[in-house]
Structure 1
Amino acid sequence: MKLRSGLRTKFLLLMTLALVVLLLTMALMLKRQEQMQGEVVEITRDAMAGVIDNSLNRRGEGMVNQLAESLTNPLYYFDLDAMGELTASALRQPDARYVLVYDEDGVIIHDGSEAISSYGKRMDDGFANDVIMSDGLLTLFDDSLMDVSTPIMIGDERLGGVRMGFDLEVSQGFQERAVQDMRERLAVLGHRQVVGVGLVAGCLLLMGIGMLWLVQRWLVRPIRHLADSARQIEAGRFDLDLPTSRRRDEVGELLRAFSRMSESVARHDRDIRRMAYTDALTGLSNRLAFREALDEQLLQMRGEGQQLALLFADIDDFKRVNDTLGHDAGDDVLVQCSARIRDVIAREAGDDALLARFGGDEFVILVRALPRDDGPGVREIATQLAERLVVELGQPLIVQDRQVFLGTSIGITLFPDDASTAASLMKNGDIAMYQAKVAGKNCFRFYSRAMDLAVERRVNLEHELRGAWERGELSLVYQPVYRLSDRTMVGAEALLRWNHPKHGQVAPSVFIDVAEQSGLIESLGPRVLHAACSEAVRWQQMLPGREPLTVAVNVSPRQLRGGGALAEVVASCLKETGLEAGRLHLELTETAVIGDEAHVGEELARLRETGVKVLLDDFGTGFSGLSHLRRVPVDGVKIDRSFIADILRDPDDLALTSAIIAMAHSLGITVIAEGVEKAGQYALLRERGCDQAQGYWLGSPMPGPEFLALLKEEGR
């Protein structure tokens, strides 16, 4: 019995010892498991925080950069509707707290709301001063907010900027939920392990070895791999080769969830990069992508003897499409033009060329060429490509079931001949493209160093032209117009002259073109019209018994395409000056009509409703044919002086002039000849039935007082 008691005691002691060992082992294992779970949670928390912060930072910078690119034109033209659409779209992001568009002084222009409640207020938050003073992309943080801002530039001029606030609590909440989910899953896994330890209590050693092996294989190794992957994602390497797991437990779900998260982050990174480097409308590379590609090309080409060319192509008169047909039609034009450019590049330059859209209606092409004795150089390739582009983009486009003629102006600059840096090449390309515009559009020009001086002179001329009317430097002269049948003066053409205080008389062909390109013509045109009408009224008042004289005023294409504003200006001028509408003749060039006859016809119809006469100036130089006389409502045509100059010795010019007169008369249109310099020209035009004429043989342009004196002398 004692033996039994001793064995029982020993057994109990052994059982008790085993139980104590088991409890201690379990306690130690639970302690170790708790520590391991905490380490896993902290590692995962740190990894996820880095990934989320990095992703949010990249997404915020990408969105603000894209928003700044899109807001350039709306901010430049102060288009609040366009700003509202862009900012409202950005505000729809789930973590976007605010979007602000501000000017260069930090005054808010748009906040994405319909009412723009903060319009005109200066930004005064804690980040405001840093944002306003920043010259580039700026990201600022506080406890609950990430503020990303960047200036909006046009060329070297800062128009203002845009800033966007992202709520960090959204990403922090996502992180905490993910960590909590991981903690719960690890807790479930730990409970299963404890239950397993209790069930195999009699095999403590084997259980310990097995558990260590299982933990190492099923938990530590996957978590360690996840931690390594998270660190790579944090470093920006998103394309990871994560192993697929068929496990059905929490660790397997965690591995699959992490794999899906990695794929999602990589996909969002690709989307952000695509948005940051791709033009949304045409699918081409944008300015940022092109600049990086150009920098990379220049870095690779240094010292290798390679050459490249940049072609800056700007669509001529593109603004007219937006103004007359709407921005949807303008987008359609850009898509069609980009497709034509791609086709030409594929045929002429192959895969070595890179095409990008810089915004608006400007496209840039990069062409490379290796120095070879048996192949064309980069200049020849660029020339051939530019010639084909001019031809292809000069073909009519079908927009909203109508033909639109635009054309393109192309500037070309070469590396390393013209410049060795990306910034200089792009500046030179812009200058060459501008010179192509000045040369008459729908052509191409290579950059030369003389263009820098020409651009500087043109900029100075534009600056001096502003305010020239107020300073009294601009004045009108009047060239008499005579009726050929009895050589009686019936009117005069008003011509604008600029007497520069330093350079003297500036050629009208120079400063009128500057006024047209800069938009100054829109302010000068009404002043010229008012002055000419006032002078015509004065003639009638000074010579009441004389046959009323007409006055002709030139109208620029830019004024004509002002959306009906010209008719309103004319009506207001006639009312203010008291001039009879039938005595005012408005002259527009033939080339202003070509390309959009339907719209121009509507504008001319509105003008004629006011009672004024419309004349087609420089007729015959636009290569449009006499068919325009049937489709465009005009009262008269002025035969260009280039035809009149040779009618005495060139049978072709005489035949063409005679045909114009006969065709115009058959349509009931008055014919006026310009540039009559000889008595023989006058006699021949009179014989052919021309109605009126002007030229130096009949009378040169003269100031108002001299013209009035001539009228008095003829009235005697």
Structure 2
Amino acid sequence: MSRLGSGMQAKFVLAMSGAMLVVVAIVAVVLGRQATMQGEVQHLSGNVIHDLFDRSVRSRGEALARELSDALANPLYYNDLEQVGALVRNTSRQQVVRYVLVFDENGRLIHDGSVDVLEFGQPMRDPLATGAVGARELVVQQSPKVLDNAMPIMIGNQRIGGVRVGMALDDVQAMEKKANQTLGERLQQVGKRHLGWLLLMLGLLVGIGAVVIIYVQRTLVTPIRWLAGAARQIEAGDYNLQMRQSHRQDEVGELVRAFGRMSQAIARHDREVRHMAYTDALTGLTNRLAFREALDHRLMAARASGHRLGLLFADIDDFKRVNDTLGHEAGDEALLQFAQRISAAVAQAGGDEALLARFGGDEFVILIGEGDVAARARELAEILVRELGQPLVVQGRELFLGTSIGVTLFPDDAADATTLLKNGDIAMYQAKMAGKNCYRYYSRAMDHAVERRVHMEQELRGAWERGELRLAYQPIYRTRDRRMVGVEVLLRWQHPTLGTIPPSVFIEVAEQSGLIEVIGPKVLRAACTEAVQWPPGADGEGLFVSVNVSPRQLRGGELPTLVADCLRDTGLPASRLHLELTETAVIGDEMLAAALLDKLHRTGVKVWLDDFGTGFSGLSHLRQVPVDGVKIDKSFVADMQRDPDDLALTTAIIAMAHALGITVVAEGIEQEVQFDLLAQRGCDLAQGYWLSHPVSATDVVQLLEAGS
């Protein structure tokens, strides 16, 4: 017994000594790493601060130039120099603004914010003046000390002068230097605090080790032997231990007493684990395993009694976007809110025997079997679509998601649990195909529809490589002279056995399957490659090509890099590439869209908003998500001459877009009267079958050579 105790004590002392040495070594490494990390953090933070200040002064300069251009239009037009001076002086007083200069269309100074304006009427002679005077849109120039933002002042389409806002780069650099200095001081303070805590913890650890070594001399063998026997008893499943009385107040005594409580705790935990195995950890709802067992029992009872059961399979629409843009914590919060709304709806219309479960991810399943099951399922589905279509507030942001619901009945649609769940999943998928945020009943025809869709998806995967996909071009004409100035790129699929497949069919399959993320870049590159070979038009400028971009490509975040690489590799000027985004894709998440559009604008391409007016958004959104053009949806163009409301709405869109400096394009023009109405109202560009059907690249060249 003594030799065993001495052996344990000696081993313990050696182990403690080794642990102390390891801890000391770790502390030394941590201190070294801390100093290194502090330097790296300061360097990286300095870069971030520089980028923040640089973007801030550029964004501020551009915003001031744009705001002054709009504000000075009327005072300059009416030669109200007092109002011009007030606006210039108000802006000049803002931080880091070095100067504000207002000049006429010939570059002669009108006002510089001073009282006397000594150089009034004199041409501006600084090095940046030439670029500013010739600006037809925002021009940003830079010297070592000044960032010059020049913006023309327009009255309608007439340029009456311009304004220059000079941002003091040396002031910004001083502010940046001060911020870096403050950051360095803060980092040093944090490092000193961390060093103190490390040394304190090391001292405490040494003290604890000394105390433990002193007390380890007490007898351990007998308690340890008893503990080993108790552990074997618990391992065998017997949690009722014969308690060993111990009056020791040290760790061993507590361990002996704890073993007595352990059997009860383990028994209780065993029950809790069984409960957890059947419960969803996030929402507290029944999980897939428990639901499947309950479904099997309910089906057996329903067969015996001849009752019907209803199953609703619900899937949140576009839930992946929440995780991708806001993070998984926001996704969990959204799931909890959905679970609460579904639970409330089930309590209201599902009946007392309704069972709600979360199948994982964003899928929920509801089983009902009370009363008129078909009517109750319809009522519950309608309530769910209505309630789950209401906006969620997650992390202070309002989200619109909706839910697609599939409804299937037993024994009408299936005779077993597996088939019933599969049918509910198929019906839910059909609800998504029907536009989402709705419900659909399962029918046997859906099986064939799913098979056709899967077959089409398989065929589409290799269609580009097999040469079945080709590009067509819809000419776009300028309304004032009916000259072709650009083309919209369209994709056509000619299948060897299925024939011509409409874009409305295969584009949707590509979107839902994710194939659009593979096909889209190939279309973009092929269009740029062909366009760069076309001869210039009648006015000496090359046609622009307008390429549609999928919402999935936009949300992926790689679109700006893809566009830049494509322009670099093909040699197409950025000014000749326009990207068309759907209104719903842009308005769905303004913050993400604004950041991506900013990156795209830096490449030099233009961005148009397609199908404008169908997403129920206003032009006010375009102030947050700036675009270069909007395409009026053809549904408005089709009834302009018959429906005064459509004509008024189209007129308002053109006027408001022009007020924001946005180009307006009308699509779907099939009659001359439609073209004339749009031209009279100042619509910039137009396309449609009345002007030209989609043509091949060869036909585009022929049209150019013919002077269209």
Q: 2:521 aligns with which of 523, 526, 545?
A: 526
- CA–CA distance in 2 between the matches of 1:671 and 1:545? 21
Matched ranges for 1:451-466 at <5 A: 451-466=446-461
Aligned-pair distance for 1:176?
A: 8.2
Aligned-pair distance for 1:350?
A: 4.0
Q: Which residue of 1 aligns with 2:324?
A: 323
- CA–CA distance in 1 between the matches of 2:672 and 2:447? 46
Q: 1:418 aligns with which of 409, 413, 420?
A: 413
Residue 597 of structure 2 corresponds to residue 604 of structure 1: yes
- CA–CA distance in 2 between the matches of 1:544 and 1:575? 26
- Judged with a 3 Å threshold, the aligned counterparts in structure 2 of structure 1 residues 401 and 464 are, in CA distance, closer, same or farther, namely same
**2:374 is matched by which residue type in structure 1?**
R
- CA–CA distance in 1 between the matches of 2:294 and 2:224? 37
Stretch of structure 1 that moved more, 416-425 or 394-403 = 394-403
Q: 2:445 aligns with which of 433, 446, 450?
A: 450
Q: Which residue of 1 aligns with 2:347?
A: 346
Q: Which residue of 2 aligns with 1:569?
A: 562
- Judged with a 3 Å threshold, the aligned counterparts in structure 2 of structure 1 residues 384 and 703 are, in CA distance, closer, same or farther, namely same
8 Å Cα contact 2:308-2:369 kept in structure 1: yes
Q: 2:542 aligns with which of 548, 569, 572?
A: 548
Aligned-pair distance for 1:363?
A: 1.1
Aligned-pair distance for 1:179?
A: 7.8
Give unpaired runs (5+ residues) of structure 1: 1-173, 184-226, 250-255, 371-376
Residue 604 of structure 2 corresponds to residue 625 of structure 1: no
8 Å Cα contact 1:617-1:639 kept in structure 2: yes
- Judged with a 3 Å threshold, the aligned counterparts in structure 2 of structure 1 residues 178 and 395 are, in CA distance, closer, same or farther, namely same
8 Å Cα contact 2:227-2:259 kept in structure 1: no
Aligned-pair distance for 1:257?
A: 10
Matched ranges for 1:17-36 at <5 A: none
Matched ranges for 1:82-121 at <5 A: none
Aligned-pair distance for 1:314?
A: 0.9
8 Å Cα contact 1:539-1:708 kept in structure 2: yes
- CA–CA distance in 2 between the matches of 1:674 and 1:628? 22
- 3-state DSSP class of the match of 1:540? coil
Q: 1:656 aligns with which of 646, 649, 655?
A: 649
Q: Which residue of 1 aligns with 2:265?
A: 264
- CA–CA distance in 2 between the matches of 1:445 and 1:490? 46
Give unpaired runs (5+ residues) of structure 2: 1-222, 247-256
Q: 2:683 aligns with which of 687, 690, 713?
A: 690
**2:441 is matched by which residue type in structure 1?**
F
- CA–CA distance in 2 between the matches of 1:362 and 1:348? 20
Deviations 1:541-583 (A, max 9, x none): 7x697322111000111000012x0000001111111111111
8 Å Cα contact 1:403-1:595 kept in structure 2: no
Residue 281 of structure 2 corresponds to residue 286 of structure 1: no
Residue 534 of structure 2 corresponds to residue 503 of structure 1: no
- Judged with a 3 Å threshold, the aligned counterparts in structure 2 of structure 1 residues 606 and 368 are, in CA distance, closer, same or farther, namely same
8 Å Cα contact 1:403-1:596 kept in structure 2: no
**2:300 is matched by which residue type in structure 1?**
L
- CA–CA distance in 1 between the matches of 2:370 and 2:405? 19
- Judged with a 3 Å threshold, the aligned counterparts in structure 2 of structure 1 residues 304 and 679 are, in CA distance, closer, same or farther, namely same
- 3-state DSSP class of the match of 1:588? strand
- CA–CA distance in 1 between the matches of 2:651 and 2:383? 37
- CA–CA distance in 1 between the matches of 2:653 and 2:231? 89
- Judged with a 3 Å threshold, the aligned counterparts in structure 2 of structure 1 residues 485 and 269 are, in CA distance, closer, same or farther, namely same
**1:517 is matched by which residue type in structure 2?**
Q
Q: Which residue of 1 aligns with 2:462?
A: 467
- 3-state DSSP class of the match of 2:676? helix
- 3-state DSSP class of the match of 1:413? strand
8 Å Cα contact 1:534-1:579 kept in structure 2: yes
**2:543 is matched by which residue type in structure 1?**
L
- CA–CA distance in 2 between the matches of 1:175 and 1:326? 49
- CA–CA distance in 2 between the matches of 1:272 and 1:655? 66
- Judged with a 3 Å threshold, the aligned counterparts in structure 2 of structure 1 residues 689 and 288 are, in CA distance, closer, same or farther, namely same
8 Å Cα contact 1:493-1:552 kept in structure 2: yes
Deviations 1:655-707 (A, max 9, x none): 11111111111111111111000011111111111111100000111221122
Deviations 1:114-171 (A, max 9, x none): xxxxxxxxxxxxxxxxxxxxxxxxxxxxxxxxxxxxxxxxxxxxxxxxxxxxxxxxxx
Q: Which residue of 1 aligns with 2:580?
A: 587
Residue 313 of structure 2 corresponds to residue 312 of structure 1: yes
Matched ranges for 1:329-408 at <5 A: 329-370=330-371, 377-408=372-403
- CA–CA distance in 2 between the matches of 1:687 and 1:303? 74
- Judged with a 3 Å threshold, the aligned counterparts in structure 2 of structure 1 residues 486 and 545 are, in CA distance, closer, same or farther, namely closer
Aligned-pair distance for 1:478?
A: 0.1
**2:364 is matched by which residue type in structure 1?**
F
Aligned-pair distance for 1:260?
A: 5.3
Aligned-pair distance for 1:264?
A: 3.2
- CA–CA distance in 1 between the matches of 2:475 and 2:311? 50
**1:362 is matched by which residue type in structure 2?**
E
- 3-state DSSP class of the match of 1:637? strand
Deviations 1:285-332 (A, max 9, x none): 111111111111111111313222111111111111111111121111
- 3-state DSSP class of the match of 1:264? helix
- 3-state DSSP class of the match of 1:470? coil
8 Å Cα contact 1:313-1:433 kept in structure 2: yes
- CA–CA distance in 2 between the matches of 1:409 and 1:537? 44
8 Å Cα contact 1:406-1:595 kept in structure 2: no
- CA–CA distance in 2 between the matches of 1:599 and 1:378? 44
Structure number with larger C-alpha Rg: 1
- Judged with a 3 Å threshold, the aligned counterparts in structure 2 of structure 1 residues 492 and 175 are, in CA distance, closer, same or farther, namely farther
Aligned-pair distance for 1:356?
A: 1.1
Aligned-pair distance for 1:495?
A: 0.5
Q: Which residue of 2 aligns with 1:480?
A: 475
Aligned-pair distance for 1:629?
A: 2.4
Give the CA RMSD over aligned residues.
3.0
Residue 658 of structure 2 corresponds to residue 665 of structure 1: yes
- 3-state DSSP class of the match of 1:275? helix
Q: Which residue of 1 aligns with 2:435?
A: 440
Deviations 1:377-407 (A, max 9, x none): 2222122212222222222222222222211
Deviations 1:209-259 (A, max 9, x none): xxxxxxxxxxxxxxxxxx9x999x78xxx9xxx9x999999xxxxxx9999
Aligned-pair distance for 1:275?
A: 2.4
- CA–CA distance in 1 between the matches of 2:283 and 2:318? 19
Q: Which residue of 2 aligns with 1:302?
A: 303
- CA–CA distance in 1 between the matches of 2:312 and 2:508? 24
**1:325 is matched by which residue type in structure 2?**
L
**1:271 is matched by which residue type in structure 2?**
E
- CA–CA distance in 2 between the matches of 1:536 and 1:247? 89
Deviations 1:85-134 (A, max 9, x none): xxxxxxxxxxxxxxxxxxxxxxxxxxxxxxxxxxxxxxxxxxxxxxxxxx
Q: Percent identity?
A: 65
- 3-state DSSP class of the match of 1:468? coil
8 Å Cα contact 2:230-2:259 kept in structure 1: no
Q: Which residue of 2 aligns with 1:101?
A: none
Aligned-pair distance for 1:181?
A: 6.3
- Judged with a 3 Å threshold, the aligned counterparts in structure 2 of structure 1 residues 276 and 245 are, in CA distance, closer, same or farther, namely closer
- CA–CA distance in 1 between the matches of 2:532 and 2:606? 17
Deviations 1:515-534 (A, max 9, x none): 11111111111110011111
Q: Which residue of 1 aligns with 2:511?
A: 516
Deviations 1:338-376 (A, max 9, x none): 112112222222432211111111111112223xxxxxx
8 Å Cα contact 1:356-1:365 kept in structure 2: yes
| TM-score normalised by structure 1 residue count | 0.63
Q: Which residue of 2 aligns with 1:274?
A: 275
- Judged with a 3 Å threshold, the aligned counterparts in structure 2 of structure 1 residues 663 and 265 are, in CA distance, closer, same or farther, namely same
- Judged with a 3 Å threshold, the aligned counterparts in structure 2 of structure 1 residues 664 and 247 are, in CA distance, closer, same or farther, namely closer
- 3-state DSSP class of the match of 2:556? coil
Aligned-pair distance for 1:602?
A: 1.4
**2:534 is matched by which residue type in structure 1?**
W
